[in-house]
Amino acid sequence: MKLLVVCLGNICRSPMLEGALRARLAASPLSGRVSVDSAGTGDWHVGEPPDRRAIACAARHGVDIAGLRARQLQRVDFDRFDHVFCADANNLRDAARLVGTAGQARLSLWLPWAGIETPASIPDPYTGGEDHFEQVWTLVDAAAQATVARLLHDADSGIIGP
Ligand code: 4NP
């Protein structure tokens, strides 16, 4: 099973999502069975590492995301990934425009998919301070745990193969 998490710049939220999800998956019975990647709908930061505040925030929580590099979401990603999770409603709209009707079944707003309805979108911390990154981490890590729980449930139901 392959998961892709998407935000706008791929330097703040989606690298944090990727790091938190990887860490929670590695500590779960799904370890080794689910891979995670991230991308941005925009191209401004392609090739760059995550924002230094995102790297520092993840590091405070024991997760190393310094080696990640930003890339832009492509249409072909919808053939390569089983789920494409968007951080906010704008990312969902832009990703839906990119893929058209073909890939919509794989496309979700991440927090509601994980059972978190409020907030439904992950706020963009790019123009905020360190506290905004901490708030994003709290949200992202809760969603990562809920995602593992849902995937485990789906695996038990036979929706995910071995
Ligand atoms: P992200 O945050 O979508 O969480 O990576 C942003 C990073 C950069 C920009 C916007 C949002 N930007 O406009 O450059």
| Alpha carbon distance 162, 15 (integer Å) | 27
Collapsed DSSP state (helix, strand, coil) of residue 150: helix
90 CA to centre of ligand 1 in angstroms: 12
3-class DSSP assignment, residue 94: helix
Q: Tell me the mean pLDDT in the region 143-158.
A: 90
pLDDT tens per residue across span 116-144: 999 999 999 999 999 999 999 999 999 99
At 66 the three-state DSSP class reads: coil
The yes-or-no answer on residue 124 being catalytic is yes
From 12, 13, 57, 88, the catalytic residue: 13
Query: Does the pLDDT value for residue 114 go beyond 90?
Result: yes
Q: Looking at residue 104, what is its pLDDT? A: 85
Backbone phi, psi, residue 38, to 5°: -140, 160
For tokens 């995910």, what's the residue?
160
CA distances from 56 to 7, 70, 119, 139 (A): 19, 17, 24, 16
Closest among 108, 117, 157 to 139, alpha carbons compared? 117
Amino acid at 156: D
Report whether residue 12 contacts ligand 1, using a CB cutoff of 6 Å. yes
**d(Cα 26, Cα 56) in Å, to the nearest integer?**
21
Least confident range from 54-58, 87-91, 133-137, 158-162: namely 158-162
CATH hierarchy code of domain 2-156:
3.40.50.2300
Query: Using one digit for the tens of pLDDT, what is the confidence trace for 38-62?
Result: 999 999 999 999 999 999 999 999 9
**Binding site membership of 57 for ligand 1 (Cβ less than 6 Å):** no
For residue 99, pLDDT beyond 80: yes
User: For residue 157, how far is its CA from the centre of ligand 1 (angstroms)?
Assistant: 37
Give me the residue spans of the domains in the chain.
2-156
User: 11-26 b/e with 16+ CB inside 10 Å = b?
Assistant: bbbbbbbbbbbbbbbe
Q: What is the DSSP letter of 72?
A: B
Cβ(94) – ligand 1 distance below 6 Å: no
Residue 12 annotated in active site: no
**Among protein residues, the one whose CA lies closest to atom 3 of ligand 1:** 8
pLDDT of residue 103: 81
* Residue tagged active-site, from 37, 51, 94, 124: 124
Residue 39, ligand 1, Cβ within 6 A: no
In whole angstroms, give the CA distance from residue 32 to residue 95: 27
Distances (CA, A) of 124 to 13, 15, 30, 84: 7, 13, 29, 18
Percent of the chain residues topping a pLDDT of 90: 91
What per-residue confidence (pLDDT) applies to 154?
86
Verify whether residue 51 is a known catalytic residue: no
pLDDT surpassing 70 at residue 24: yes
